[in-house]
Structure 1
Amino acid sequence: MAWSEKLKLNKQLIKSVTEAGYMSPKEVQQKSLSRIFGGQDIIAVGHEGCGKTTTYVLAVLNRLKYNTEGVPNVLILVPEKDDVLAVIERFELLNRNKSLSIVGLYAAPGIESQMNALADGADVVVATPDRARAIYLKLGLNLNKVDLLIIDDAEKIVKQGLQLPVVELANSIDKCQHLVFSEVLHSRLEKMIEPFMNLPAIIEIDETGETIIETFPQVLYIVPNFGTKLNLLNLFMQDDELFTKTVIFVNTRQTAEKVYRSLQNRHKKNVALLNSTSIEINGLDSTDDFKTSPSVKILIIANDTTQEINLDGIPFILHFELPEEKETYIFRVAAGNISEEDETLAITFATDLELSMVKKIELAIGQKIPLGDIPEGVIIEKDKKDAELEAKKSKKSKDSEPVVGAAFHEKKASNVKNYNYSSGQKAKMNKKKKHS
């Protein structure tokens, strides 16, 4: 499908996008551009490289006209400095309107130069949330005329813990259209954007790679946090008859020791750590030693090891955490020339923040990883922030209760003051009384 009038791009933009090598619109552009031009809030979910950035750059260039006021009409929030520069580069590639001014805001020595650039005039601001908020609080970023707020790589922004500046900036804009682009959509992301999104359309680009890599049978368990992962792991490992030999991968040696101590309470000498550096922790030197050990049923391996790992013939490969590189995971679960006698199962635990890596893996292997149901016996731990908030609410509720035996008399209904009128409202009420 070539670029057509149905997408409502102006002729000059169609020419520039074609000359840039984009001969036809991708699925995300076909599904979202008309909605964007119609003024609707959207959430576009798709893998890296599916065309999300080009989509909103085209939407902005097609939308913006000559601006004489010198204040931003568009605010684009991205996770890091490199993302700011990449978005500006995409604008420069597709923009033929040389009068369009684009300013980037990101962490750099001195904030004055970026504030000066804004003072000189900007149509589009591309920024990291924390730097945009800092300059806004210094009154250097004018949001009064912003009518389009774009949040790109939203899942990475959540992972970096930048939800608060995003929400504050969004709430500081009086009224505008919101576009959110992300690789995944999960509860933490939904919690961030819910306060300001207005009946958004959700557009999902659910593609996988063409190359199908043969893997061991896989199952994915999505859990809310680290504590729940531990609870699920302990529940699985209780079945000694099923989990006869299990390798557990974690990202750091510190996490490996935490998992070890959690499992050791029940399994004692049945659990070991690869290349342990502590005399208090049962250790093994290789996976070959693990395979031949009559007592050790669980081997924990930190991803920081450079040792060659032989997983042949191990019944369960469990990723408690996903490695930073998808290739590492794929190498471990790729079936290769495995005989029919091998019955290895690859189990993965993932939180919301790890789902973007899951999507990358699925795209690379060309298949979806089946979801497993969380067993009923698993205790779901609360996130630390949610638990602290609930504790504060509970304490506040207790503090507000009357003390038994204290001098407390309930007011008559007519005397109870459970309202809080503004001064203007009081003036109106008094005026009515005088004329009644």
Structure 2
Amino acid sequence: MSLDKLKLSKRLHVSMNDLGYFSAKEFQLKTLSRIIGGHSIIGIAPEGAGKTTTYVLGVLMRLKYTQDEAPKVLILAPNEERITEIVDRFITISKNRELHIMGLKTSGSMEEEIENLVRGVDIVVATPNRARAIYLKLGLNLNRIQTFIIDDADEIVKQGMQTPVRELAQSCGKVQYVAFSTVEHEKLHLMIDDFMPLATTIEVDELGENAVETHELLLYQVPNFTTKINLLNLLLRDDEVFDKVVVFVNSRLTAQKLSESLHAKKGEVAVLHPLFFDDAGVDDVNDFKQIPECRVLIIANENTDVLDLSGIPFIFHFEIPESREVFLQHVVKNTDEEVLAITFATDIELPEVKKIEQALGSKIPTMPLPDDLIIYQPSNTQKEKNEVDESRGGAFHKKKESNSKTYNYGGGEKAKMKMKNKKR
């Protein structure tokens, strides 16, 4: 789409052309006019969809330059690196020497930052924790804020900074709220729903142009780490179907702990390169293939070379690999063998799933959770304690009606049907 569709001011249009932007992205076409119009929105889109450029243009189109000492725009970002990127984007696009923008750095002097704020700024960019700390010292005036933006909201949730976000938002009064995230999930809504109850949600799914040929993929969205264990135990209960299984985790410590949590007979579960010498394990995947009674091999992604997974019909990604390339190595189809690759993901792992889907060029089908799965419900104290624990997920959310299914396979039913068809 032509950049003209965004209806930018002449100055910003020229600036964007000078920077090499000659066309508008789908996400920008759907959201920018709403931001300029002062609407509160929740924008959901993957990396590369143009989310940052969208709100930078929206702010610059709305901003009225005055000598007011109090800031008009507050942007919350997850870390200092992101703060620097946002400030640089504003300066690059605006080319306006009268624009006063300031990034509050956690490593900087709070006294100096307060002094600079008192001199007057238009836009403040900060982490939620830093902004809250300076606000409590009466150094950040929120009385004149017009636009409140949450950048990388999913990463802010992942780092457990929901409380300062809510406190800052509620201290601003009636303003325009904008929250951008790569995924929409319950934890995001727990953070923003109190102050954005009527916000419009706009979602854009941009996948890679070339689809990668993979084995059959399935995704289970689960609320937390413990429920992942319950689900794996439930599926593996059917030992006739799941006779040879590889389970990938991210660390050797997790591999060791998971092996102790599986309900299996002695000798059925092994760890590749176990953490402790007296743990049940093997040093080579081929050794696992040749031991009939051993049907589950747990492999840590860390320090693991390319593996020969031929002859293994089931692959589980118990945790999302830290590198999408690792995931692709496990699931790309190189032979005619029928393999089912099943992935478990909590809310805060969904952004990584989105990145994987972009690399695959296709969505991973989501399966409903089995009716007989025990959903672990931590107490309120445990929820607070684990709020920043990346692996433990969060509150389980009900699927949107548009995404719900009218059927529900029990544990292993999908695999059973697949394997029965294979044996015919």
Q: What range is the shorter-chain TM-score in?
A: 0.7 to 0.9
Contact 1:41 1:198 in 2 (8 A): no
Q: Distance in 1 between matches of 2:276 and 2:358?
A: 39
Choose which of 345, 349, 362 in structure 1 pairs with 2:344.
349
TM-aligned CA deviation for residue 116 of structure 1: 1.9
2:53 is aligned to 54
TM-score (norm 1): 0.86
CA distance 1:386–1:18, shift in 2 (3 Å) = farther
Alignment correspondent of 1:320 = 318
String of CA shifts for 1:146-194, please: whole Å, max 9, x gaps.
Answer: 0100001100000000101111100110110000111001000011000
Distance 1:387 1:121 in 2: 42
Aligned match of 1:374 = 369
CA distance in 2, matches of 1:65, 1:277: 60
Which of 305, 321, 328 in structure 2 is aligned with 1:330? 328
Equivalent position SS for 1:149: strand
8 A contact 1:314–1:344 mirrored in 2: yes
- What is the aligned-residue RMSD (CA, Å)? 1.4
CA contact (8 A) 1:45 1:182 kept: yes
Shift of 1:343: 1.4
Q: Distance in 1 between matches of 2:67 and 2:276?
A: 68
1:231 aligned onto 2:226 = no
Report % sequence identity.
Answer: 50
SS of the residue corresponding to residue 269 of structure 1 reads coil
Q: What TM-score do you get using the length of structure 2 for normalisation?
A: 0.88
Quote the residue 2:131 is aligned against.
132
Q: 1:2 to 1:103 in 2, by over 3 A?
A: same
Q: Distance in 2 between matches of 1:66 and 1:257?
A: 59
Decide whether the 8 Å contact of 2:28 with 2:54 is kept in 1: yes
Q: Which moved further from structure 2: 297-306 or 77-86?
A: 297-306
Matching of residues 380-391 of structure 1 within 5 Å = 380-385=375-380
- The residue aligned with 2:358 is 363
Q: How many residues align?
A: 384
Task: Tell me the equivalent position of 1:311.
Answer: 309
Q: Which residue of 2 aligns with 1:214?
A: 213
| 2:300 aligned partner, one-letter code | A
Counterparts of 2:47 and 2:275 in 1: how far apart (Å)? 39
Q: Which amino acid aligns with 2:226?
A: G
Where do residues 292-311 of structure 1 align in structure 2 (5 Å cutoff)? 292-311=290-309
Are residue 252 (structure 1) and residue 218 (structure 2) matched? no
Give 5+ residue unaligned stretches, structure 1. Answer: 390-436
Map of 1:43 onto structure 2: 42
> Offset at 1:85?
0.3
3-state SS, counterpart of residue 104 of structure 1: strand
* Deviation of 1:17 (Å): 1.4
| Residue 195 of structure 1 pairs with residue 194 of structure 2 | yes
SS of 2:260's partner is helix
Contact 2:252 2:275 in 1 (8 A): no
Greater shift in the superposed pair: 101-110 or 163-172: 101-110
Measured in 2, the distance between the counterparts of 1:198 and 1:277 equals 48
Question: Structure 1 residue 19: deviation in Å?
Answer: 1.3
Instruction: Provide the C-alpha distance between the structure 2 equivalents of 1:327 and 1:297, rounded to a whole number of angstroms.
Output: 26
Residues 85-94 or 198-207, more deviating: 198-207
**Which consecutive residues of structure 2, in runs of 5 or more, have no partner in the other structure?**
385-424
Q: How far has the Cα of 1:54 moved from its partner?
A: 0.2
